[in-house]
């Protein structure tokens, strides 16, 4: 697969990619050395989240980090985020051209071959592959892909930047990275850890902070 996105490129290795629901978590993780991360706040109106989104984007910029905004693409454009992450359903209702024109990166969720076809048609900056293992964080209509399926998708996608997500714990991170995926996205492995700083440090050692250049 030749990587020629219609959106600004990202490095193949985005490294450790925590997905969190508050600006407090964004601040903590940036201070801990994380350089790829996502603000994922669910089911609120734009006006309810705008201040938090804007603050997270400003922090991301201050640390020269790659901060993706989940769902709130209009706010991401308005406040000049590094990127936006969208699900398959979002693709139908989002003005992708507006994201592209504003120069924001785009990440798209996928869960099987058909969704990868749909995502590739949008030529995003990266493709997320989920959910690898069972997850308690989000109700999933599909079954976990497992490592074998994940490795098959990675092989298919060649040099396209990829992110694995779903049930990735400290114990499983090495096996996931061994598939050749460029990044591991985690929620509970950090936010539910007894010691989130130790968990983040271990995951950073395993996955890295991501490459500087695409």
Ligand X SMILES: Cc1nc(C(=O)O)sc1CCOP(=O)(O)O
Ligand Y SMILES: Cc1ncc(COP(=O)(O)OP(=O)(O)O)c(N)n1
> Diameter of the chain by CA atoms?
42
186 binds, among Mg ion, ligand Y, ligand X, none (CB under 5 to 8 A by kind): ligand X
CA–chain centroid gap for 75, Å, is 17
Is 205 annotated in a binding site? The answer is no
Per CB under 6 A, the list member of 130, 161, 182, 210 interacting with ligand X is 130
Could you say whether residue 87 binds ligand Y (CB under 6 A)? yes
Q: Please tell me whether residue 24 adopts helix, strand or coil conformation.
A: helix
Q: DSSP character for 123?
A: -
Per CB under 6 A, the list member of 53, 59, 176, 186 interacting with ligand X is 186
Is 210 annotated in a binding site? The answer is no
Cα separation, 197 vs 202, in Å, equals 9
Q: Least distance to ligand X from the beta carbon of 64, Å?
A: 25
Residues that bind Mg ion (CB under 5 A): 70-71, 87
- In the complex, residue closest to ligand X by CB: 130
Nearer Cβ to ligand Y (138/156): 138
Taking the CA atoms of the chain, what radius of gyration do you get in angstroms?
16
Per CB under 6 A, the list member of 137, 149, 202, 214 interacting with ligand X is 137
Q: DSSP character for 41?
A: -
CB neighbourhood size of 187 (10 A): 21
Footprint on residues 89-128 left by ligand X (CB under 6 A): 109
CB 164 within 8 A of CB 130: yes
Q: Which two tokens stand for residue 211?
A: 């490459």
Cα separation, 194 vs 214, in Å, equals 34
Nearer Cβ to ligand X (13/131): 131
Is 167 annotated in a binding site? The answer is yes
Nearer Cβ to ligand Y (70/145): 70
- In the complex, residue closest to ligand Y by CB: 87
CA distances from 176 to 6, 109, 166 (A): 28, 17, 11
**Which spans of this chain sit near ligand Y (rule: CB under 6 A)?**
19, 38, 40, 70-71, 85-87, 90, 107, 109, 128, 130, 138, 163, 165, 185
């Amino acid at each position: 697969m030749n990587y020629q996105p219609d959106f600004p490129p990202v490095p193949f290795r985005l490294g450790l990619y925590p997905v969190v629901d508050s600006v407090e978590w964004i601040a903590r993780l940036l201070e801990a050395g994380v350089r790829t991360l996502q603000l994922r706040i669910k089911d609120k109106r734009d006006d309810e989240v705008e201040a938090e989104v804007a603050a997270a984007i400003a922090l991301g910029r201050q640390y020269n980090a790659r901060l993706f905004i989940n769902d709130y693409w209009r706010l991401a454009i308005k406040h000049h985020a590094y990127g936006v992450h969208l699900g398959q359903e979002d693709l139908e209702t989002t003005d992708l051209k507006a994201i592209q024109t504003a120069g924001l990166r785009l990440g798209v969720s996928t869960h099987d071959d058909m969704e990868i076809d749909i995502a590739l048609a949008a030529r995003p900056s990266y493709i997320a592959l989920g959910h690898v293992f069972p997850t308690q964080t989000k109700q999933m209509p599909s079954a976990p892909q497992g490592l074998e399926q994940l490795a098959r998708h990675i092989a298919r996608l060649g040099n396209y930047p990829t992110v694995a997500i779903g049930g990735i714990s400290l114990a499983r991170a090495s096996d996931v990275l061994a598939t050749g995926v460029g990044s591991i996205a985690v929620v509970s492995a950090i936010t539910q850890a007894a010691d989130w700083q130790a968990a983040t440090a271990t995951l950073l050692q395993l996955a890295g902070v991501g490459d500087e250049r695409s």
